[in-house]
Amino acid sequence: MLNQIDKISGIGLHLDLVLRKIQEAYLRTFEDLGVDMTIEQWVILHRISELGEEASQREIVRTNFRNRATTSRVIGKLEQKGWILKSRFEGDQKRFKLELTEKGEGVIALVLPEAVELRKRAIKDLDATEFETFLRVLDQIGSNYS
C-alpha cells in the first residue's frame, strides 16, 4: 500500500474522505435528534460542559486548536441559541466565563450518549493494539509535517 501512495492521489485525500464520513455521521445524528448544531458548536459546547466552573473563552481557544476569531464566533452562536451564558470572572475582568444554561445542559444530555456511540463505532472491530498503532502512525504523519 505504501508504494501505491501516488496512485491513490496521496494520503491527504484518503484522510479527507474518512473525515468527511465521520462529519456526515455526526451531522446526521444531530439532525435525527432535532438539534440544529454544527460539529464545531458541539465540540465547544461539550468542552464547556467538561470544564464546568472553570470554563473560559481563553481555555477553549487554547484547547480547541482553532484561532481566537473562529472560536469567538462559535461561542457567539451558542450564546444566541441560549445554550451558554458569557460573563466575566469575578475579580478577573480580562477573562470571559462560559456557563451552560439549562437549555445547553439539555442539549448535552440529548447529544452526548449518541456522540459516545459514534466514537465507539469509529473503533469497532479494532483491537487495542491496532488502535494504538493507528494513533501512533497519525502522530508520526503529523510530526513529519512539523
Q: Could you say which residues of the chain have pLDDT below 70?
A: 1-9
Q: Quick one: pLDDT at residue 7? A: 58
Which residues, 6+ apart, have CB-to-CB distance to 102 below 8 Å?
A: none
77: left (phi over 0), alpha (psi -120 to 50) or beta: alpha
C-alpha cell at position 116: 459516545
pLDDT of residue 11: 80
Could you give the domains of the chain?
Answer: 2-144 (1.10.10.10)
d(CA 74, CA 59): 14
In this predicted structure, what is the pLDDT of residue 132?
Answer: 95
pLDDT at 13: 82
pLDDT of residue 63: 86
Largest CA distance in the chain: 59
Encode pLDDT of 78-111 as tens digits: 999 999 999 988 877 778 899 999 999 999 999 9
Amino acid, res. 76: G
Instruction: Supply the Cα-derived Rg of the chain in whole angstroms.
Output: 18
